[in-house]
Chains A and B, each alone.
Chain A
Amino acid sequence: MKHFLLDVDERGVNRTLASFLERLVSDGMAGALLVPKDTASGKAAVMTLIKSPGEIKNINPFAPVSPVNAARIVSDLTITGVPGEKVGVLLRSCETRALVELAKHNQANLENIIIMGMDCLGTLDPVDYSEVNDPGGNLAEEWMEVSAEGEYREEIRGKSIRRVCSACSHVEADHAALHLGWVGLGGKQILVSVGDEFTGWASSFLGEGSENVPEGRQQSLGAVRSRREENKRRLYDEFNDRTRSVESLLKEISRCIKCYNCRRVCPLCFCRECIFSTEIFRHEPDYYLSRAGRKGLMGLPADKLLFHLTRINHMGLSCVGCGQCESACPVKIPLGIIFKMAGERLQQIFDYVPGRSLEEDPPLTTYREHELEPR
């Protein structure tokens, strides 16, 4: 990777980045872009597929909100084939990792997709974002400035970042052919890091570039990571106690209404037909009566525990800890931490990190004898 510095001009971060990305399109490096853009009301920042360079100007690339894991959107875009031209997609770490995981499972096609990554220090719940962001607002910039100066914060205008984000140490996005960094750069510059195919292009207007990242950035990244590791340890200790027995797990999930939102938004729950939506779970009336008869009574909707255990079993090895499940849960079950924690433990057994590499086979598709040893 080669590193270039892009100065933030007097129009601010968003306009500077808009000009930068406009150039990417007008120079023919990409035919379209998929980037976050505030809606007219400013109440939401949504992933937007932009074809016309003139429409790039109002983007909000660093908006601290992730209404859907955008890997899902890239999967939707490419599930039936390769886009006719290159699409540059701007993603944060949990999204690039989910995308690689999806590509490995044949749920996304990375041909003609340019992965553009960005620094992320966490995102707000979409509801909180819409409360505190104002139209044309500079929420991202505000947060960028304090964080860029090395101050560690977990809240923006009085709203805390999502709980899983506070336990996530992936600031930079992996697998990016072009990465936009801002942590540890003082707020007035953006670090553009590019792979071989963009080096010539970037040096045509950003100067010579360097093999090294500016001093101070590594230090800031290190500081954030250690704070996040500490948060994670604390949360895991707490949630270990809260889920170590079926009784305690039930305390967390018994208010589940089986709306399946968590399954719907999870980027890695990609089965077209989920077993819970099949005939297997459409029971005869007497089945319910006999089940209720066995215990004397029966809580409904049924099979909450089975649903969550099945989901952990099915996608735990691929869970990237994006926390979308938790954000989507109407009854606020702390799914993000539970799945991230359970997922990581399963991943350790196979020495597997989801989204780490395209070449690494998913553990359940390969057989290694030592994995079956008693533990």
Chain B
Amino acid sequence: MKAALEMFGIEKERVWFRFISASEGKLFAQTVDEMVQTLKRLGPNPLKNKWEI
């Protein structure tokens, strides 16, 4: 999926796949945190401003 998005110039960093078991609460929190940080850095999706999509 990431490869498909990247082909058309959509940043793959916006899509995350992680395997976290139900017992790993801490890891889950950590991952979400990381994800939020990354997305903040990337800023809003430029597609958001395109009216014709």
Q: Do A and B bind each other?
A: yes
List residues of chain A with CB under 8 Å of any chain B CB.
Answer: 243-250, 254, 294-299, 303-306, 309, 312-313, 316, 342, 345-346, 349, 372, 375
**Interface residue from B3, B8, B9, B47 paired with A349 (Cβ < 8 Å):** B3
Write 19 A-B pairs (CB below 8 A) sorted by A numbering: A245-B8, A246-B9, A246-B46, A246-B50, A247-B9, A249-B8, A250-B50, A250-B53, A295-B48, A296-B51, A297-B51, A298-B51, A305-B53, A309-B5, A312-B4, A313-B1, A342-B7, A345-B3, A346-B3
A295 near B49: Cβ-Cβ < 8 Å: yes
Please measure, in the bound complex, the distance between the C-alpha atom of A254 and the C-alpha atom of B53, giving whole angstroms: 7
Given A245-B9, A246-B10, A246-B47; A299-B53 close (CB under 8 Å): yes
Given A244-B8, A246-B10, A249-B8; A295-B51 close (CB under 8 Å): yes
B51 near A316: Cβ-Cβ < 8 Å: no
B4 near A309: Cβ-Cβ < 8 Å: yes
Please measure, in the bound complex, the distance between the C-alpha atom of A245 and the C-alpha atom of B7, giving whole angstroms: 8
Instruction: Contacts A243-B8, A246-B50, A342-B7 known; list 13 others, CB within 8 Å.
Output: A245-B9, A246-B46, A248-B9, A250-B50, A294-B48, A295-B49, A299-B53, A309-B4, A312-B4, A316-B4, A346-B3, A346-B4, A349-B3
Overall SS of chain A's interface: helix
Given A246-B47, A297-B51, A306-B53; A313-B4 close (CB under 8 Å): yes
Contacts of B51 in A (CB 8 A): 295-299
Contacts of A250 in B (CB 8 A): 50, 52-53
Contacts of B47 in A (CB 8 A): 246, 305
Please measure, in the bound complex, the distance between the C-alpha atom of A304 and the C-alpha atom of B46, giving whole angstroms: 16
**Interface residue from A244, A299, A313, A345 paired with B9 (Cβ < 8 Å):** A244
Closest to B46 in A: A246
Closest to B8 in A: A249
Please measure, in the bound complex, the distance between the C-alpha atom of A181 and the C-alpha atom of B50, giving whole angstroms: 51
Smallest CB-CB A-B distances: 9 pairs: A245-B9, A299-B52, A305-B53, A249-B8, A297-B51, A295-B51, A246-B9, A312-B4, A313-B4
* Chain B window 5-47, contacts with chain A (Cβ cutoff 8 Å), 1 for yes, 0 for no: 1011110000001000000000000000000000000000011
CB distance from A317 to the nearest CB of B (A): 10
A345 near B8: Cβ-Cβ < 8 Å: no
CB distance from A184 to the nearest CB of B (A): 37
Closest to A248 in B: B9
CB distance from A11 to the nearest CB of B (A): 51
CB distance from A303 to the nearest CB of B (A): 7
